[in-house]
Structure 1
Amino acid sequence: MQPSPRQTSLIDAVRAALGDAAVTTDPGDIAPWLDDWRGRYHGRSPAILSPDSTAAVATVMRLAAEHGVPLVPQGGNTSMVGGATPPVDGSALIVSLRRMNRIRSIDPAAGLAVAEAGVILANLHAAAEAEGMRFPLTLGARGSATIGGLASTNAGGTQVLRFGTMRGLVAGVEAVLPNGEIHDGLAALKKDNRGYDLDHLLIGAEGTLGILTAVTLRLYPAIAQRAVAWVGLADPETALALLRRLERRTDTIESFEIVSGDSLAQVLKHIPGTRAPLATQHRWHVLIEAVATDPTAEAPAELLERLLAPALADGQAADATIAASEAQAEAFWRIRDSLSEAERASGPAMQHDISVPVATMPRFMIEAAAAAEARFPGSHATAFGHLGDGNVHFHVRAPAGADAARWYAEDAPIVTRFVHDLVVAAGGSISAEHGIGQMKRAELARLSSPARMAALRAIKAGLDPQGLMNPDKLLGLAENPAAP
């Protein structure tokens, strides 16, 4: 597409200031970055700007403000809610952070690493491991998701049970604000009472208040041993009881993932090379990982065997197996990491990333699925997620044979409103770990209190008065204070 006059002026100014490597205008090179990961959102943009330093990002932001051109920050483009896709009208330029891919430092003694926004999560894992440390946030997109994107969306992952979300793992933030000024908050201060916490404000803001350029991250000792178990059981209530039973006896459980029998069946059907961990079929399953950082401690496999034996004996667990090798452990995790991919391959569906209080999560998973299937005949609802933190991935598949385009256009929005109403009634959140993006912006406005929306609008207007940062995300175009 042809850039507008203002966009042309900005592109020329960035090229003059930062060189040709910082500007991409070839449509073929831009095309892969115009669609979201799920293929639901498709944008347009005449250029990608690719600064390679914090100073260069500041230059881009200052020039964008001068020319009044909106910007869409982008990392690995793995957003599940269309949060990194440019607007369809081509009004915004993409700012890629992928050239900012340096790990500036790793300090094992302090348990800290400073990583730039474009560092791929898997690369950080490898670098920390080489220093005898680890960064305990893992998710299926670790080979492409970037640190900046993870912090900007306050990502969760499978180890939230023990370590919390990205907000709990970030000890400091460096960012460029919409006017081009640099916020240097990388120092990992234990105490800092200078008013509002700008770091935490920028984490989870989805690029609507500025661009994260680097973060200081908390590291932990590398795992000396781990064990992964797969357990079959009757229902989510039993699963939560098993989790509480384990937590009373050990503090080494890092992951406790619940998977329905239907979700497992979809993986086995659509993901080549996967196989059922248990010989018998069960309505529900849990994946458990226990770790030890001290090589002299009780082996996690022995620990899980000791703790699961009574659960099997009294019928709380119907069947269980502990991975006999690292390859088998990875095979178990591959099933969990492939759940969304398998659901996507099953046909049109609405995937809802929601959270409810942990104590009510088991009942919600069962009752919400039944309610959705009753309300939408022919549909199929299923749930999986991080049982220990209340995060439910709640999917509603279209009836067999449904026309995907028509279903997404007509039925899917009604399905989502219905599910979100159930979530709010349960005291939950319509976004647990994927953010709001553009997928949930209308629902955020519909279901949030006036106080919350007023505060969000005021923060946006205060930091981004021109409304240039990641337009049509989070608050939405209508909520931007001054969309150009």
Structure 2
Amino acid sequence: MAPSSTCPELLSQLGDLLGPRHVVTERDEIAPRLIDWRRKYTGNALALVKPGTTAEVAAVVRACADCRTPIVPQGGHTSLVGGSTPDLDGRAVILSTERLTRVRDVDPVNNTMTVEAGCILQSLQEEAARHDRLFPLSLAAEGTCRIGGNLATNAGGLNVLRYGNARDQVLGLEVVLPDGQVWDGLRTLRKDNTGYDLKQLFVGSEGTLGIITAATLKLQPQPLEAATAFCAVRDVDAALDLLARCQQATAQSLTSFELIPRIGIDLSLKHVAGSVDPLEGAYDWYVLVEAQGGHGDGGLKAALEGALMQAYEDGLVLDAAPAESAAQAQTFWHLREAVVEAQRHEGGSIKHDIAVPVSSVPAFLTEATAKVHEMVPGIRPVPFGHLGDGNLHFNLTQPEGADTQAFLARWDEVNAAVHDIVARYRGSISAEHGIGQMKVAENARFKPPVELEMMRAIKRSLDPGNIMNPGKVIDLD
């Protein structure tokens, strides 16, 4: 079901609502908003609009709804699945939240912060810190991504192991619905059993059910201590054993447990400035471990190092470098983040954002690695990511010397093979990046028909005109 033609007077109406300078139609200015971060999808748009208040967002949505003009919400435009890129027909209005940047309230006693959707994630982390609190959502794009998009995609990131995904960080939402009504669900309560938990409909919906304009977020106490270590492990099974030991030793204070293969380190050392190998020897597998909390007396660091020492004596850990300073811990994290950047310099990369049960990670890696080698001899798997919660970025770098375009032309074929294996382990083909437009068909392959129809029923109920980010997450045709 496609939206109908745009009203000829819409642009003039939007200019009256927002002021002409906040309705952009110049191609050169809109162009960066029409291509996704991975440069895989390119679209077109009637205009880029920049409302500055919730009331203005609602007015824009009402005007578009009257004309059945599609709306594509954009925050930081960092989607990795084409979720914030319009289609090619040029009828959509891109609605940017970049002017919705107010911190409306911080309540350190209630451990909450109410903020508008256009706030940059890193700025919210810093705002929480000014009140001696922690906002734990953290991911690579935190300097540019915006909290509305983080919630709309249910972002994951580096601290999920202890604090959960984005949906676990939110207590309430303010949302503009597809007909322009504003739902004020900015609750600050930990307990509210008065009906359906409506906010969770919009978290992870990728702007297909409404536009998040503000959120009440949970804050945490600032950790008094952090303990970080970079370890070489015998194999992935040993890494899982080490995970359990570290969780036990740190009294569940473990925040991150990141898996890194040797090829990821080699590529980072080759291509990304500032990358340093923390260990003298070369090993097949590594983990970056971090715990936060403690009493500020060094006990957390001692507990983690004690677990690593015992694991070394038991043959699980082959070498380890505990961070002796915050600066050294940052060099470990730089190396972890460099794995993403380094792959760009080696030609094409076919990417997967998958999750399987934590206990199934070793078997999945064995099976999936064998399958992609069978399909593409010489392929270079670079599987890395959040081992602690079962979310891996099973990225596949092209064979050395291969034709990049020919390799990338096999994206769908390779994705399908890997996703079939994920499904056998009862996993997910999207763990933290969302569905966007990239995975709509693949998602339909694996979701039970009743689940797909439930999703369609919700979409049709809230957005009967299908104007909210059409073509993303769920296909209504």
C-alpha spacing 1:31/1:141, structure 2 compared with 1 (3 Å): same
The CA deviation string for residues 362-404 of structure 1, in whole angstroms up to 9 with x for no partner, is: 2212321122112322322231121111111111223333333
Query: 2: CA distance between counterparts of 1:471 and 1:293?
Result: 47
* Counterpart check, 1:276 vs 2:273: no
Following TM superposition, by how much is the alpha carbon of 1:308 offset from its aligned partner in structure 2, in angstroms? 1.3
Following TM superposition, by how much is the alpha carbon of 1:36 offset from its aligned partner in structure 2, in angstroms? 1.0
Following TM superposition, by how much is the alpha carbon of 1:293 offset from its aligned partner in structure 2, in angstroms? 5.6
Q: How many residues align?
A: 473
SS at match of 2:183: strand
Could you tell me whether the CA contact under 8 Å between 2:230 and 2:332 is conserved in 1? yes
Could you tell me whether the CA contact under 8 Å between 2:353 and 2:432 is conserved in 1? yes
Could you tell me whether the CA contact under 8 Å between 2:350 and 2:395 is conserved in 1? yes
SS at match of 2:405: helix
Query: 2: CA distance between counterparts of 1:217 and 1:37?
Result: 27
SS at match of 1:360: helix
Following TM superposition, by how much is the alpha carbon of 1:7 offset from its aligned partner in structure 2, in angstroms? 5.6
Query: 1: CA distance between counterparts of 2:71 and 2:94?
Result: 6
Q: Which moved more, 1:399-408 or 1:163-172?
A: 399-408
**Which residue is 1:215 aligned to?**
215
Note the 1:83-102 alignment, pairs <5 A: 83-102=83-102
**Which residue is 1:66 aligned to?**
66
Note the 1:46-65 alignment, pairs <5 A: 46-65=46-65
Q: Which moved more, 1:251-260 or 1:368-377?
A: 368-377
Following TM superposition, by how much is the alpha carbon of 1:322 offset from its aligned partner in structure 2, in angstroms? 1.2
**Which residue is 1:466 aligned to?**
465
Could you tell me whether the CA contact under 8 Å between 2:294 and 2:300 is conserved in 1? no
SS at match of 1:272: coil
1:71 maps to amino acid = I
SS at match of 1:382: strand
The CA deviation string for residues 234-269 of structure 1, in whole angstroms up to 9 with x for no partner, is: 211100100101112222211111111111212112
Following TM superposition, by how much is the alpha carbon of 1:5 offset from its aligned partner in structure 2, in angstroms? 7.4
Query: 1: CA distance between counterparts of 2:55 and 2:412?
Result: 42
Query: 2: CA distance between counterparts of 1:111 and 1:364?
Result: 39
Following TM superposition, by how much is the alpha carbon of 1:18 offset from its aligned partner in structure 2, in angstroms? 1.9
2:138 maps to amino acid = T
SS at match of 1:354: strand
Give the alignment's Cα RMSD to 1 decimal.
1.6
Q: Which moved more, 1:182-191 or 1:278-287?
A: 182-191
1:474 maps to amino acid = V
Following TM superposition, by how much is the alpha carbon of 1:301 offset from its aligned partner in structure 2, in angstroms? 2.8
C-alpha spacing 1:292/1:193, structure 2 compared with 1 (3 Å): closer
Q: Which moved more, 1:57-66 or 1:194-203?
A: 194-203
Query: 1: CA distance between counterparts of 2:274 and 2:160?
Result: 28
Note the 1:101-120 alignment, pairs <5 A: 101-120=101-120
**Which residue is 1:447 aligned to?**
446
**Which residue is 1:198 aligned to?**
198
**Which residue is 2:428 aligned to?**
429
**Which residue is 2:21 aligned to?**
21
1:364 maps to amino acid = F
Structure 1: which 4+ aligned runs deviate by more than 4 Å?
A: none
**Which residue is 1:404 aligned to?**
404
C-alpha spacing 1:247/1:86, structure 2 compared with 1 (3 Å): same
Query: 2: CA distance between counterparts of 1:268 and 1:44?
Result: 39
Q: What is the aligned-residue identity percentage?
A: 44
Query: 2: CA distance between counterparts of 1:465 and 1:402?
Result: 47
2:439 maps to amino acid = K
Unpaired runs of 5+ residues, structure 1, are none
Query: 2: CA distance between counterparts of 1:467 and 1:399?
Result: 42
The CA deviation string for residues 258-317 of structure 1, in whole angstroms up to 9 with x for no partner, is: 11111121211221121111111110000011122633x434333322221111222210
Query: 1: CA distance between counterparts of 2:137 and 2:7?
Result: 38
SS at match of 1:435: coil
Q: Which moved more, 1:455-464 or 1:222-231?
A: 222-231
Query: 2: CA distance between counterparts of 1:264 and 1:159?
Result: 22
Query: 2: CA distance between counterparts of 1:355 and 1:26?
Result: 41
2:277 maps to amino acid = A
Query: 1: CA distance between counterparts of 2:294 and 2:220?
Result: 9
**Which residue is 2:456 aligned to?**
457
* Counterpart check, 1:340 vs 2:340: yes
TM-score scaled to structure 2, two decimals? 0.96
**Which residue is 1:324 aligned to?**
324
Could you tell me whether the CA contact under 8 Å between 1:72 and 1:85 is conserved in 2? yes
Could you tell me whether the CA contact under 8 Å between 1:370 and 1:381 is conserved in 2? no
Query: 2: CA distance between counterparts of 1:28 and 1:221?
Result: 45
* Counterpart check, 1:314 vs 2:344: no
Following TM superposition, by how much is the alpha carbon of 1:406 offset from its aligned partner in structure 2, in angstroms? 3.4
The CA deviation string for residues 316-368 of structure 1, in whole angstroms up to 9 with x for no partner, is: 10000012222221111112122222223221111100110111112212321
SS at match of 1:318: strand
SS at match of 1:6: coil
Q: Which moved more, 1:308-317 or 1:78-87?
A: 308-317
Q: Which moved more, 1:63-72 or 1:8-17?
A: 8-17
Note the 1:330-409 alignment, pairs <5 A: 330-409=330-409
**Which residue is 2:288 aligned to?**
287
Following TM superposition, by how much is the alpha carbon of 1:181 offset from its aligned partner in structure 2, in angstroms? 0.5
Q: Which moved more, 1:191-200 or 1:157-166?
A: 191-200
SS at match of 1:395: strand
1:270 maps to amino acid = H
C-alpha spacing 1:7/1:384, structure 2 compared with 1 (3 Å): farther
Following TM superposition, by how much is the alpha carbon of 1:27 offset from its aligned partner in structure 2, in angstroms? 1.6
2:289 maps to amino acid = I
**Which residue is 2:228 aligned to?**
228
Query: 2: CA distance between counterparts of 1:7 and 1:49?
Result: 16
